[in-house]
Structure formats: C-alpha cells, structure tokens
Structure 1
C-alpha cells in the first residue's frame, strides 16, 4: 500500500457504498482495481472471492486483471469473477444462451439472406441491396443499448403519426415531407420487429441484444435477481465511460446493496456514439447521490511536456462536454524533475511521400545511432488503416522491422491466393480469381501468356479458365498440367466433403513459399474456416463458404489474428487492452529481431497501451478528425436514455480520440502533418499552435525522396522473394506490347482517369468480368428503350400500356440476375421507367434520326470510338443528342461536366458530320431531361486529357488510385494497393 498515492489508497480502502473513480490516462487505474479486490478480501469479514464481480469491455482486460491479481495474491483470490458485460449476460441468460450468438457481421449476413422477409421499401437500394443493413444492425444495437424494444419503437412512431393528425385538425396541414417521414419511420419499426422475430425463430441471438435481454430476464424473475444480489456482494466496473443505458440498468439491479465501484475517464470516451461523453457518470451521480467520488489525476506515464500538450488539446472541448472541466492531469510533484522531457514536435511536410520517408529514416537513425533504445520503443499511430500504406513501404526501404496491429489478414497476399483458389474450384467462371491463382510462381506462367489468354477469353466472351483448359494439350507453361490436376482433384472433394476436411491438404499442395509471417496469416485464416464450419455453417460445403465469405467482405468483416481478435465483438468495437510490454505476435520473433519492431496501429487499437516514443501520423484536415458519416437511420433523441451531448458531438469524440493518442506517449511525442495546395493540417494541430505555449515546437522538413525506379525495383524484388501469385508484381511492370496506338471509348477514358491500374486490368490485359447487376439492367433497359422509341417514331398510336408491358417482357432476362431481390426490383423498376420514357416522348413529335449510332475518329493522339443512344429532330427543327441514364439521377452539374457528353458532341462534329443544337441527359429513374451544350474550351480541355491519358498508357503508367470506390472494383483482389503487406522487413 505504501507505493500508492493518497487518492489511490483512498479508492482501494473504500469498503461499503457506491464509489466513483475518475481516473485519467496513466494514473494506475488497473492497479487500483487489483489492489482494491485484494484489500476487500483481506478486510471484509466472511467475504469470499466468488462474491466479487469485476466487469469490463474486453476479454484481454478481464484476463489481465485476473493475472495481476493472481500474481500478487495467489490462491486467495481464486474464484473472483472477471468478465465482460456480454459474457456475463450470456451466462445469465441460461437456456437462451444456447442459441447461436450473432456478432455484427454475422447479423448483417443473416439479414442479407432474409432480405425479402424484412419488408424493406424506401431503404432498399436496388443496385446494392445490402447497403442499408449495416446502418440497420447499428440502429437495432442502439435500440437495445437504450432498452427500446420493437414495441416501444412502434408506439413512438404512432405517437408521431398522432401528432401529425392533430396538426391537420388545427388547420396546419402537414407537409408532404412530414407524411413521408412518418412512412419511413413505420418502415423502420416494421423492419426492426421483423429482424428480431426472424432471428428468434431461427434460433439466433444478436450481440447487441444480449444485455437488454438479461435486463428483461432479471425484471421478470425476482428470484434470479435476488440470488445474484446476494451472490455478488461487491461489483467493480472498468472503462465505465463506455457503458450504455442497458449496462447501467443491469448494474443498478445487481447492486441494490450499493457496493458498486466504477472507474473511468470521460476524456477517453471514444465509443459513446450520440451519448454525452460523461453520460454514464451523470447517471451514476443521479442514482447514487450518497456516492464517494475520487479523482486520480497523477500521471505516472508521460513527461511534463507531453501532459502539457495533451491537457491543452482536451481543454478545447467545451466545458459542458466534460465531467470535470478543471481536471488537471499532471506528474506527481515529487517526480517533476525526473519526468522532464523533450518538447513535443510538429513535423510539417510538403507531401505524404516526404512524411513517410522522413519518419522511417528518423526511426532507423535514432535506433541505429543509439539515440533511442529499440525499434519496439516506437509506435506510429494513425486514424485509419490506409494512412499507414506509404509508411510501410518507407520502413521496408530503410530496413526497419515493424508489426501491424489489427492487420486484416484476409487481405494479405498468401491468403488472397488461397481464397482465389477456393473461388476457382467453386466457381470456375470467376476469371479474376483464375488470373490470380494461375499466376502463382510455382506454375511458371508468364505475364504475356496470361494476357494472351485473357484477350482470347474476352473476345470470345468466355471465362478465362475455359481458354486455359483449351490450351492444356499444348503444355504451354511448366506447371500448367499440375495446376489443373490440383484444381480438378479439389473440385471433386468439394462436391462430397466439407471444406474443413480438405482445406489443409489444399494449403499443403499449393505450397507456401513465404516465411513465417505468411504462414502465421495463413494459419489464422485456416482457423477462421474451421470456426465457420463449427459455428456458422449448415452444410460445411465450399459453395456455402464462398457465399458466406462474399457477404462477409461486403459487410466489412475483417479476419484478424487471434491476439488481435480478443475484443468484445460489438458494434462499438471497444478497443482491446493488453499488457503494456506486449507486442502483436504477428511476425514477432525476438531471437531474429533483438531490437524488436516498430508498432503500427490505429489510435483505437492503441487505447490502454503505452510506448516510449509515439509518432501520431497523418494529422490532416478531413482525416483526423475524420469526416462524420451520417447514418441512414438514427435513434431519435426522444428515445435516448441519459444525457445527449451539446454542440458538435462528432468533433468532441474525435478530439478525445486525439487526446488518447497523445497520452500513449511516455518519453517523446511527434505530430506529423502535410501542407500543400490540396492538403492542410488537422484543426487539432492548429488549435495547439494557436495556444502558443512553450512545450511545442514546429519544424518544416524537406527530405530527398528515393527515385521511383528504385522504389519499384525494391518492391518487385521483395515480392519475388515472398513467392505466391505474381500478378500484383506484374501490375507494376511494363509490357513491351503495351507501347502501341491507343483506342479509347468514353468509358475507358473515364476508367483510366479514375484508376489507371483498373484500366490496365480491364482494357489492356482484358481480364474477363461478367457485367454486374446494374450494368446488366442498363443493357436490358437500353435495348427496350431503343425498340420503344423506334415504334413510337413509326406509329405512336399503336403504343398502349399493354404493348409496353409485352415489350418489356421480351427484353427481360431474369435468368441473368443471381439475386432474387435484385431480380424482382429491377423487373418492376424497368417497366416503370419504360412507361416513363413513353410519357415523355409520346406527344413530343420527335423524328428519330439515329439510334445506337457508332462512331470513331482520331482526337488528342488517340483513336476514339463509341456509340450514341439517340439523335432526333424536335418539332422546332432542332437536332438533339440523347443519352439515357439508369441508376442514380444525374444533376445539371453532372450533365455540364460529363466527359461522355463532350466526346459525343465532338463525335457528331468530327465523325458523323451531324450539327447538334442541344445535348440531353435523360434520367430514366425520374424522367428528368437535363439539357447541356459545349464550347470550344470544353473540347480543348478534354482533348488535353485524352492526350495525357494516351501518353500515360503508352509509357506504361498504371498506378492504382486507392479510395472509396475500390470496394466496388472487380479487380480489387489483384490490386497491390488492396493487399496488406505481410512481410515484415528484417535487417
């Protein structure tokens, strides 16, 4: 006890009654919890270990408290119950817990499979049926967090409708928007009820509902509640700031005796969603007015200078957003001299490349010169995983070993290879997976031959595998026959055996050419497959797994290593906690790396950890703080339990996350940013600069970047060493036959401008990809519109409602849609849009001149080709060009900036010799016609874009352009930018 400070001792020795401990970062809260348990067992008469319950949010945190308690007190504490909230509730539910528990991703998959039964209308997007489901799962979870049942929500909606009726009676006619909002709310209530009922009927229990169900169980079973109240004489809660209304209600019910001790820090509340950061503390204070409150504000982790910066940052949150605005986290007075340290530095760069290069070189210099201890003393923290990409490459170039926390191992090259093989076995028509699988280095296939196969398949509109099998007799590459034999053998297995029975055999046959790092990732994926078979599968067959995994990826699922996957799998994704000196086990071989490895982690992933040297990376406007993504549906404030935040709750939470990043640092802290024409520093950095205190120093840094050719050569050499599929390496190499005349369509030009590498895969290599649902619908729709307009032009009187229905049925190709929901919706939508076209043109008197008119001409050092939907003459004698658009309605701005329309206008002038008075973009979804025109400067701008694109293609410039749209790309499993770097570079 002598090593505890006064406040810590007070918290430990408090015996009976409610206790609120506000514990700032680095103030020893875990130690206080452990010491308190030991003190209670030693000083409370007749108290037994099993009568103490400690609750937290991660299994690792619970295990860590248990370990530290046993190390100090040994067998005397055997039986203390350390648990997460959800594990405790799962045990409490008894018979109900025998149901399969669905985490957030599996709930999404379940709902996706039962989409037709949910009764969605307004919220169902035909081109992407699953888009709404993530928001729905989160919404249902928020309802459970706030103890709002489907019946409660339905009652709320009916009250809204009643208010609307009352407004109508008082002569205030409700707006059309208000009535539409009521219908939307009724749909939400209906879907919430059906979602819960479907899961109940199928024997599932969703993760979000476990606590609320436990609360209801205790409300309906006084005997069970009384037994638990007697069993647990003392209850302790860690990370109390993250508790929601349902969890707090559970605590209140369990602790009628009042012996509830909670520990938390509202300044580190980064999972409160819309709730106030100090909401749980306010609820505690309100319910337990007789509580004892203790503040732990002496920090034993960071230097005086680091704490000064951190305190300044968090003080920017408004006072009403903080429980104790005057709370001052500080170094103990007796340690002020020894905890003096370096000033916090802001490193400002002119580009992201310079940021990555200098950061890597500085870490390497400091460790190798002896200025800093080990690589493992450094942590680089970032807001989102993609922010580390350039840093990973730079660390490799400088020979700096690193380990990535929460790495998505299903995006590592070796696992992508395995998944590609599974997809080829299960769906041989998948040409993208075939290209990756066939490109494995052990088969000996070279890029020119692969491209030849792809182009043959594309011209014949056949799958790539079909062409490869045709060529098999010629044995055109060394491993061709063995490759096909392996696929055939496992294809036979897949028809009769569960995937888990032959997956390891397939792994062995394919052979892993990488090192221990790749094997670790591969083993984790194998464990994922086995867990799916044991817990989530009905048949265990490959076809079922491929469907599941496709949905898994669409839902945003991530396969992590076991030690990175120990957190409670809730929609709040509470950050894991672990022992402070523990690094991720992935690629961690101390005997090979005596200096350890630099840790790369998101800020969320680093919560609860500490490092000697912290570099907060990529502090840019719109990146940190991240832009707020407004969900499609939110729980109304009227149904929210507890206080709601005032002001901008999103920025408040992002600033608390920034504060968490700063307070991970023990000895030194660096903040990195970029300033140029496109990028500006984070507002959080600007706030610190404006504060103008002496513990912060800014440095503008310029560093020489390595030559592009050297970077490419190093990347290629690294990939050759790792083995596996060579296709991402080939994506970076120049093929001699690509230096040729360039032919571009409007869509091909837009593809290159959007992502040059996607253009290479689709237009140069011509990897066959079947049309997606939206493209397939567009093709059917264009054919039907063409015939309808032709009939109307010949004899408009013959067109009737019935004739339009029959025309649509002739064009409909239901068998091409694999998804029943999309098939039904597109079928209905297409007929509605066709009738809309008829309504627009039937009285117009247009004279059709051309339909689907092909053109080709030379422009901007490229050969341009394409096809115009329609050219007609109106009753005023004007010639108009029409482009029909399915999908999301385009705006007038879209029409004005449309590259496609500019090329069409030039084609009419240069190739077709048809003077155009007006160009029209026809939105089929709402029958809106957007008129536009082009001037000489518009044509010159596009001509220059074509020239630059043509030069880029001829020079072999095909860089990836990673961004939001990558999730929709057919080629993401071939793209080097979408792979997680698995090889931790060793010196």
Structure 2
C-alpha cells in the first residue's frame, strides 16, 4: 500500500496541474493513489469543476475504484456529469448524447460484444461476405467458418480503429487488400441496416462525430479542460487521436509503464507512451518517474529488475524502445529473511508436479502461514491450457477450492450439462438424429451431448415430477402443429421449479463465490438462450421452423460458444474470493497484487504476432508505420508479459512447472532457463515461512450504484425477483408493454431535444419519422413487436402530448437528466424525464404510459412519490436550486393528465433513510420477502419457481 504521505515524486505528480505531463509509474509505486490525489487536489485546492476533467481508465472496475476513492477524499463530491470511465464508455456516452448528429445510427442501437460480433459476421458469412468479388483472396487457410469469422472480425476491428478508408483499399493491386476494403464496406452497410455498433466502431463513430462537426467538437473541447489517461501504454491509435482532438488546452496527463504494455493484440501501440513527450514543443512536457515500490519484497523487485535487464540481454537489446528505470523497494520493505522470497517448485511428471504444488499449498495452510487460500494466486498465460486445467482439477479433488472463471469450463459444469441435456431430450425426434451424426467435424459435439443426456437422465430418475414434465413437453413438441406460446428461455424458467434446479436457485448469496458457481452459471445460461432467441429472432417454437431452429442452436450456436469459451462469474465486490486459490491469466492480473504469486506457463516462448496483412495496410494507408523492429517485437511482448506476472507478488514469488527437458513445449523454455537456474529450489531444503507476514488480500471496497426504479422499487416489490434479475443477472423475458413505454418515452425525448435546440417548428414535420425510427430501433434491439392497434395507441399518446401540452414545454431546462450522488457507502442514481423552470426554482416532470391512478392511496402512486421526493433532493444537490413541484404526467389521459406533489423535506429525510436501509438489506443478501400481489406474479418469469403457476400448463 502507498504511504499516507506522498513521496517526492508522487507529490510532484499530484501538484503539477497545468500543461502536458508524463507519469512513468513502475509496478507497486502508488499510481492509482497518485491519480486519485491529483484529481482531489485539482477539485479541492484549484477549484476545477469535476465535469471539466476527463479521466480515462483501462477497465470499468478501475473506474469504479477511482470514483470510490475520490468520493472518500472530497466531501459532497458531485458525481453528476463527471467523465470517469473507459474510452469505450466515454465514447459511447458522447455518441448517445449526440445521436441527432449521426445520420446512420438510430436510438436503441444494439451494442455487440465480441461474441455477438463474430456471430453476426458468421450469419452473413457465406451469402454476404462470401459474395464479395475478392473475398476468397483473404488468408483464412484451411479453417472452419467460425474461425474465419473470428479472423475477419479482427481485420474489421483493425481497419476501424486505424480509421482506414475502405474505399481507398479497392484501388490496391493486392487482391487481399482489395478484399479487406470490400468486406469493410459490406460490414458497414450491415451495421447501418441492423442499427448496430461493435466496440471498435464505438470509438470510430465518436471520432467521426467530433471530427466532422465543429460545433459538437467545440462543446467538448470547452468541457474537457483537463485530461488524465491511465494505462497509457495500452492505448491504441484512435484513442491517441481522440485525446489530442478533444484537448484544446493540452493539459494532458498520461500515466503508465511501458514495461507493462500487454495489449498489442487489441491494437495497442507502445509508441503512444514512448513518443508522448515529442508531441509537444521541446521541454514543455514534464516527465515524472515513480520508482519506489511499496508492494514487493526487495528480492522480488531485484528479480524482475534483472528479468528486464540481465536475463533479456541473452536474446535482444531494448535499445530506445524502453524507458530506462530501476525499481527500488520502500524502506519498510527492507528486511531480510532466511527463506528466499523467490523460489521454484517443480515435478518430473505432470502428476508429480500437481502433487508437489498441492503439498506446498497444504503446508502453507496447515502451518498457519496463510489463513485463507485467496492469499495465493496462480498466473498463467492461459488458464484453459491443459496443464492449468489438470492442476485445477487435481487441487479441487484434493480439497483446495479453485476460482478460475476464465478456464473455459462453463460447458463442463454439471448444472449446464443438465439443462442442455433436458432441452435436447425435449425434442426426442431431433435428439435421435443428432446423436447418429457421424460427421468427423461434429464428433466432439455428439460426445458432449451424450454426456449431457447422461446427467439429465440421472436427475430425471430422481425426480418423478421432472420426468412427468419432460414427458408432457416432449409429446407436445413432437406432435406440434403450428406454434407454441413459448421459446427456450421460458422452458428454462419452468425447469427451475424442479428439485435439482430449485436447490441451486435457493443458494444463499452470503456464501462464498465457489458455492455460488452453479446459480451464477444458470444466470449466464439464461442470457445465452435469450441472446440466441434475439439474434435468431426466435419468439416461439413453430412446427415449420423447428428443425432449422434446433440446428442453429445445437449444431452452430453452442458449438461456437464452446470454441470461443464462456467466462464464469467474476465478483467485482471481492478482490479475490474467500476460500479459493485464484487461477488467473497474466492479463487478468494486471493492476492486482497478492501475498503469494505462483507463475506457471514456463513452457512459453516468444511468438510472432500473426497480423501481417493488417500491418501492410497500416503501412500504406495510415500514418502508422513499423515502430519497433519487427524481429524484436515477439521478445518485447514476451518479456513485458512476465514482468507483469512477477511484479504482482508482495512477499513470495514462486516459479513452477512440470519439467520437460526436450521437444515441443520444453519447460522451462530457453527464455526462462537462466533465471530458473539461479532461483532457490524449494525441494532442496525444508524452507520455513515463519518469518513471512502474509497479510490478507486487500479489500475491494468498491462503492456500488443503486437507483430508485431498478433497485429500491424492485426490491421492495419482491426481493426474490430482485435477487434473481438484478443481483444475479438472470435474463427477463421481454413483454410488449416494455416496448410500448420505451417507444413513447423515446419519441417524447426527441420532442424535448428539438425544443432545447430551438427547433420547435420542425417537430410536427418530424414527429412520425422519429416515432417510426424509434420503433424500428427498439424492435431490433428488444426483439419485440407491437400489434398494429398498440402501435397506433403509442402514436396517439405522443401526438396528444405534442398537440395539447405546449404549456409543459415552457421553460424546459433539460431532458433525460442523469443524477448521481455519493452516499457514505454507496452511490445513489436516478434519471428525470424533464426539468423545467426559471431562475432558482424548478419543477420535476416524470412521464408515465400506464393508466392514471384513481386514488392517492394507490400503492404504485405512493412509490412514485417516494421516487420524486428523492429526485427532488438530488436535483437540489446538483443544481443548487429549489424544487417547487414534482409532477407525474399520464400520457394516456387527454383531459387531466397531471398529478402533482409538493416537496416535503421530512419525507425526503425519511426516504433517504429508507433508501439506505434497503441498500443495506441488499448488501446483506437479505432476500426473504416476496410480493403478495398475484397480478404482479402473473407475468413474472419466476412464477414457476415460486409455485405461483404450474409448469405443466
């Protein structure tokens, strides 16, 4: 941990506010604390408004940590309108806030994750991309269609992030480059047609918006007076362009460590940090280097210093491609122990190695050297490697729990196999055909489905009710004529009523993450089925499309998911789950620290990155050219990767491997051999760890965010529902009323935006077009449609508001007002549809699409009042104004649509206390209450689990 009083270099970084600054921060040197204190200094001592500081982090978790720590340093820290987040989240916010200026993107666009993007490409591969004239020239090799889709996704992302104009590629003489241009143009058409963005095009869209619209750019340049960019060594070309485009003042502070650059495969370039100072006039950019390490034992620091200098000299020369530095231990770490803090543990065979690792861990625990297995982290290049999987299984079989969410074991878990087996068995005629498929490419899937069926049959043998339900559904689906009234996700929720699954759903969330794995996996599985239904537009199961739909699910979708790997649940609220040894990738461990780090993957060797075609395109069609020597890049990346691994250790670093002296996957490889030979051998002496003081892993202490509508109201209505859908993230099945309300709200928001742009006269002309665009966007994103009479009713609501409520527009100040306020141990969030008023007095207006209550004692109306009272408090805190009225506007009412409330200070105080009480119940995992309103249960997906509906019906 960083000392409370900053050291000299940290103090210089904290107090240097104006002008460009490069903070080169080695591992464990207090980078985050320095950033947080610099931000607090700017706000508290220099009077800089938080909204004028853009702080970009590498991960959302890092952003949460920074917000948590800043809010503890700054009393009454105003979170409203602050820009602290990843580049992707900041760019997404800029895009959402300026959709009116982006002609090819509609509201409710779908944001695709990595798998979504690849599956989207796969869906259009043969009859879309494959029809492009030069497509067969692309270097796919002898690969399957899914691997080709993945490779194509990488190509398309690279072109987007380097902002290559695809039309220019069409004129090239190389057919491969022409093929890339054709593919990118076709892909861009697909994105526009389907109203989608992927992660690469978020940044490209934001850049194009700013670059092509001088008024929007000027607004953000005026807003972002100061910039702080974390992990600058892992930024890519478009992120650097965004930074320099947005900054007019050049008050840019970048923080990073070139030695910890690991994301070249995502487009990151080390040149951004190495050349940062050269972007400014000579000697105008201040360079500050943090080298005092408060994390690691001196011997560990000495080891990884040597790794970057002496051990690397055998293979390559860093030359100018590294900022020279020497990390030194802090004074309080200058102690000597008889047992070396850097050791090696190994075995002559895989089995012997696993046995010795187990004995090492057991000895640490039995001797009381550690009190919790989470004090130990294993770091691998890949946790899905056979060695890592073997070790994880061996340790778990011998009583040492493992936390390894990225091990690609999701589809091997019993609860997942049980669901897939039952789902396949429901379609008995299809099941028979798929098991008889003897195609070589499908052999592994047949074996997998057989193992799923074995588990499902065992469960059915023990539960006659489940067996009866399966038999009932099997006959229904076998004799299906026409359509069912359900799809796969609804079947899944019916399964949850039976003993095997109900026992999992009943899991107490106060238990450890290892005990929660099954319920968390079921939550992920509901989202997998829901996503399939969305992307393949499966609303019901029809006799006409049944076989085709099942083929897409069992032959394609599941197979591709297994190839790509599904990550299991990762708990952000815990730094490392209690009671478990963490198995992590080295990339995953970035920014973390553990008392004991055990580094494996010593079979690893420097490998050349296979991005030759993209590099050719970059060299010819962008201002990016080869920076580091191509022959040296594989060494640079390899050495940086293991520098990160070694520097995670606080008190004990262990290198481990099953010895393999020759042949492929030699371990340790030649790259590690010199270091390996110099490390003390744990097996030679009976080393004691009594002198070591292995502290508990640090607490996460992230402030979580809670909102009235999606948290407080939902929890108070039914805590079981809250547990399943909010806390665990099970997928809710969409219903038409959700689409209806969203459509009306979005179109009214368009009306308000036009008023705020002083374009009131254009509303009548554009109203129907806005409505239809919103409908198309929502229908695509929510995979839901309105009946013609419902759609017409929604339009009537909008027109009625436009034609009869002009007095509501008077003095409109802002629409869709985001509110955020830090409480003592959580963050309070909300959103108001409209804020209106002049001077220091405002009114809050919230629009409702439901029926107007006939009584002021209506339970829902009372809940709305609570919400508005809390919002009144947040508005007054944010704007320093007085809220005079709070209004509900019922769009279904033509004559008397408004219900008004007066602000009540006493009620606000009561609500804030009640709010905090509910949050504390949520954080205590108190899910003991459920709704008594049968009408609420009627459409709830949990009605089967709660026994509020029979699953047979």
TM-score normalized with structure 1 length: 0.58
Superposed displacement of residue 261, structure 1: 0.9
Query: In structure 2, what is the equivalent of residue 100 of structure 1?
Result: 110
Mean alpha-carbon deviation: is it higher for 258-267 or for 275-284?
275-284
Residue correspondence of structure 1 range 125-274 to structure 2 within 5 A? 128-155=144-171, 157=172, 161=173, 182-273=174-265
Counterpart among 629, 637, 643 of residue 653 in structure 1: 637
CA 417–645 in structure 1, closer or farther in 2 if over 3 Å, else same: farther
Q: Distance in 2 between matches of 1:248 and 1:13?
A: 24
Q: Distance in 1 between matches of 2:59 and 2:534?
A: 21
Superposed displacement of residue 49, structure 1: 1.7
Query: In structure 1, what is the equivalent of residue 672 of structure 2?
Result: 685
Query: In structure 1, what is the equivalent of residue 849 of structure 2?
Result: none
Query: In structure 2, what is the equivalent of residue 740 of structure 1?
Result: none
Q: Distance in 1 between matches of 2:684 and 2:460?
A: 45
- Could you say what secondary structure the match of 1:666 adopts? strand
Q: Distance in 2 between matches of 1:77 and 1:313?
A: 44
Q: Distance in 1 between matches of 2:649 and 2:597?
A: 5
Query: In structure 1, what is the equivalent of residue 717 of structure 2?
Result: none
Mean alpha-carbon deviation: is it higher for 357-366 or for 625-634?
625-634
- Asked if the contact 1:381/1:661 (under 8 Å) is kept, the reply is yes
Q: Distance in 2 between matches of 1:487 and 1:518?
A: 29
Residue correspondence of structure 1 range 820-839 to structure 2 within 5 A? none
Counterpart among 572, 575, 597 of residue 614 in structure 1: 597
Query: In structure 2, what is the equivalent of residue 919 of structure 1?
Result: none
Counterpart among 575, 590, 605 of residue 582 in structure 1: 575
**1:347-373 CA distance string (max 9 Å, x none):** 232112211111111101111111333
Query: In structure 2, what is the equivalent of residue 961 of structure 1?
Result: none
Counterpart among 549, 556, 560 of residue 554 in structure 1: 560
Counterpart among 424, 432, 435 of residue 450 in structure 2: 435
CA 235–552 in structure 1, closer or farther in 2 if over 3 Å, else same: farther
2:128 paired with 1:117: yes
- Could you say what secondary structure the match of 2:637 adopts? helix
Q: Distance in 1 between matches of 2:524 and 2:425?
A: 18
Q: Distance in 2 between matches of 1:627 and 1:319?
A: 17
Mean alpha-carbon deviation: is it higher for 182-191 or for 251-260?
182-191
Q: Distance in 2 between matches of 1:48 and 1:113?
A: 47
Counterpart among 378, 381, 385 of residue 380 in structure 1: 378
Residue correspondence of structure 1 range 629-648 to structure 2 within 5 A? 630=610, 633-636=613-616, 637-638=618-619, 639=621, 641=624, 644-646=627-629, 647-648=631-632
2:500 paired with 1:498: no
Residue correspondence of structure 1 range 692-711 to structure 2 within 5 A? 696-698=679-681
**1:420-471 CA distance string (max 9 Å, x none):** 332343543322476345423664899xxxxxxxxxxxxxxxxxxxxxxxxx
Superposed displacement of residue 234, structure 1: 1.3
Q: Distance in 1 between matches of 2:456 and 2:560?
A: 29
- Could you say what secondary structure the match of 1:74 adopts? coil
Query: In structure 2, what is the equivalent of residue 893 of structure 1?
Result: none
Superposed displacement of residue 509, structure 1: 3.5
Q: How many residues align?
A: 618
Query: In structure 1, what is the equivalent of residue 54 of structure 2?
Result: 53
Query: In structure 1, what is the equivalent of residue 471 of structure 2?
Result: 484
- Could you say what secondary structure the match of 1:613 adopts? strand
- Asked if the contact 1:280/1:642 (under 8 Å) is kept, the reply is no
**1:237-276 CA distance string (max 9 Å, x none):** 1111111110000000111111111111111110023978
- Asked if the contact 1:241/1:265 (under 8 Å) is kept, the reply is yes
Q: Distance in 2 between matches of 1:104 and 1:548?
A: 19
Q: Distance in 1 between matches of 2:590 and 2:406?
A: 13
Q: Distance in 2 between matches of 1:495 and 1:63?
A: 44
- Asked if the contact 1:142/1:635 (under 8 Å) is kept, the reply is no
2:651 paired with 1:672: no
| Bigger RCO (CA 8 Å, 6+ sep) | 1
CA 393–130 in structure 1, closer or farther in 2 if over 3 Å, else same: closer
Query: In structure 2, what is the equivalent of residue 88 of structure 1?
Result: 90
CA 277–199 in structure 1, closer or farther in 2 if over 3 Å, else same: closer
- Asked if the contact 1:266/1:322 (under 8 Å) is kept, the reply is no
CA 490–528 in structure 1, closer or farther in 2 if over 3 Å, else same: farther
Instruction: Name stretches of at least 5 consecutive residues in structure 2 with no aligned partner.
Output: 100-104, 436-445, 508-514, 687-953
Residue correspondence of structure 1 range 711-860 to structure 2 within 5 A? none
Superposed displacement of residue 644, structure 1: 2.4
CA 658–60 in structure 1, closer or farther in 2 if over 3 Å, else same: same
Q: Distance in 1 between matches of 2:269 and 2:459?
A: 58
2:584 paired with 1:601: yes
Q: Distance in 2 between matches of 1:11 and 1:234?
A: 14
**1:330-383 CA distance string (max 9 Å, x none):** 113464237997331122321122111111111011111113332111111111
Superposed displacement of residue 309, structure 1: 1.0
Instruction: Name stretches of at least 5 consecutive residues in structure 1 with no aligned partner.
Output: 162-181, 447-474, 565-577, 589-595, 704-987
CA 420–480 in structure 1, closer or farther in 2 if over 3 Å, else same: closer
CA 73–220 in structure 1, closer or farther in 2 if over 3 Å, else same: same
- Could you say what secondary structure the match of 1:495 adopts? coil
- Asked if the contact 1:57/1:239 (under 8 Å) is kept, the reply is yes
Query: In structure 2, what is the equivalent of residue 539 of structure 1?
Result: 538
Q: Distance in 2 between matches of 1:552 and 1:234?
A: 47
Query: In structure 2, what is the equivalent of residue 39 of structure 1?
Result: 41
- Could you say what secondary structure the match of 1:78 adopts? coil
Superposed displacement of residue 310, structure 1: 0.8
Q: Distance in 2 between matches of 1:681 and 1:559?
A: 30
CA 246–200 in structure 1, closer or farther in 2 if over 3 Å, else same: same
Counterpart among 646, 662, 666 of residue 662 in structure 1: 646
Counterpart among 280, 284, 295 of residue 289 in structure 2: 295
Counterpart among 324, 327, 348 of residue 325 in structure 2: 327
**1:19-58 CA distance string (max 9 Å, x none):** 111111111111111101100002224x212222111121
- Asked if the contact 1:321/1:652 (under 8 Å) is kept, the reply is no
Query: In structure 2, what is the equivalent of residue 406 of structure 1?
Result: 406
Q: Distance in 1 between matches of 2:289 and 2:106?
A: 38
CA 644–680 in structure 1, closer or farther in 2 if over 3 Å, else same: same
Superposed displacement of residue 483, structure 1: 4.7
Q: Distance in 2 between matches of 1:631 and 1:444?
A: 48
CA 413–73 in structure 1, closer or farther in 2 if over 3 Å, else same: same
Mean alpha-carbon deviation: is it higher for 116-125 or for 83-92?
116-125
**1:771-819 CA distance string (max 9 Å, x none):** xxxxxxxxxxxxxxxxxxxxxxxxxxxxxxxxxxxxxxxxxxxxxxxxx
